[in-house]
């Protein structure tokens, strides 16, 4: 009896969060940053997820340059299966996602130190009352990859530690919600499972296996 009440009580809080899972989401994969050597070519990963499907989805990539957002590229995706024509506003950028499996990733050729920083992947789906969603991917440009020296990795890890903790909390809530919902309502299940499946996208980073380990502690 007590447990049922607790479930309903928690459900009341958690369920509103679930509806936002059903609306548009832009995802950069499990690891929202990449460290790369100057001169190399990198992919900035981004996919979108929408439970009710898309129509004329507007998306863009923006780069935070000295505090102002500069558009990197943008386009409108007519439907899930169409290949969008993407306008590019920045040098050395190539659109490679081609909307295959909701992929709107871009390639950054021959990166320079000026390319390092925060990239925002933004989407707006008119089918969902123009609901906006965006996510940030951070590119760190270094002059050589330090495999042995972990200082930078730890620095980065502590910087993103907070967001990873938030993400883990979110996953916990989400998983719990899935459980609650599966008890309460069966028909939304499919949708939610699809969405959480997309959360597992890898972003091609070689170190992505580390994700399952706990975040390194700051010394």
Ligand X SMILES: *[C@@H]1O[C@H](CO)[C@@H](O)[C@H](O)[C@H]1NC(C)=O
Half-sphere exposure of 32 (CA within 13 A, CB side): 22
Comparing CB distances to ligand X, the nearer of 47 and 50 is 47
Comparing CB distances to ligand X, the nearer of 162 and 204 is 204
- Widest CA span in the chain: 63
Q: Least distance to ligand X from the beta carbon of 185, Å?
A: 26
Comparing CB distances to ligand X, the nearer of 7 and 96 is 96
Comparing CB distances to ligand X, the nearer of 46 and 181 is 46
Which one, of 125, 120, 109, lies nearest residue 32 by Cα?
Answer: 120
How far is residue 179's CA from residue 124's CA, in Å, rounded to a whole number?
29
Q: Least distance to ligand X from the beta carbon of 32, Å?
A: 14
Q: Least distance to ligand X from the beta carbon of 53, Å?
A: 18
Q: Which residue is nearest to ligand X (CB)?
A: 39
Q: Least distance to ligand X from the beta carbon of 27, Å?
A: 8
Q: Least distance to ligand X from the beta carbon of 99, Å?
A: 10
Question: Following CA atoms 12, 15, 17, 21 in sequence, which dihedral angle do they give, to the nearest 10 degrees?
Answer: 180
In this structure, are strands 33-37 and 47-49 parallel, antiparallel, or unpaired?
Answer: unpaired
Q: Is residue 75 a contact partner of residue 59, using CB atoms and an 8 Å limit? A: yes
Comparing CB distances to ligand X, the nearer of 108 and 181 is 108
DSSP secondary structure letters along 173-194: HHHHHHHHHHHH-STTHHHHHH
Contacts with ligand X by CB under 6 A lie at 38-39, 43, 45, 47, 65-66, 92, 96-97, 101, 103, 105, 109-110, 124, 130-132, 143, 201, 204
């Amino acid at each position: 009896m007590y447990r049922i009440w607790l479930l309903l009580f928690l459900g009341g809080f958690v369920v509103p969060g679930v509806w936002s899972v059903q609306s548009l989401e832009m995802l950069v994969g499990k690891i929202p940053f990449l460290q790369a050597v100057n001169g190399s070519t990198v992919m900035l990963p981004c996919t979108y997820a929408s439970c009710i499907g898309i129509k004329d989805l507007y998306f863009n990539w923006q780069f935070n340059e000295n505090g102002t957002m500069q558009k990197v590229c943008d386009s409108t995706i007519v439907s899930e299966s169409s290949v969008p024509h993407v306008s590019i506003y920045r040098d050395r950028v190539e659109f490679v996602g081609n909307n295959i499996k909701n992929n709107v990733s871009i390639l950054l050729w021959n990166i320079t130190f000026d390319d390092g920083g925060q990239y925002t992947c933004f989407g707006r789906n008119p089918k969902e009352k123009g609901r906006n969603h965006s996510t940030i991917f951070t590119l760190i440009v270094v002059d050589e990859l330090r495999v042995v020296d972990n200082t930078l990795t730890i620095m980065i890890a502590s910087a993103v530690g907070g967001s990873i903790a938030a993400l883990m909390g979110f996953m916990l809530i989400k998983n719990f919600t899935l459980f609650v919902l599966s008890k309460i309502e069966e028909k939304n299940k499919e949708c939610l499972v699809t969405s959480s499946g997309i959360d597992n996208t890898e972003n091609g980073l070689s170190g992505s296996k580390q994700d399952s380990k706990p975040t390194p502690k700051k010394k």
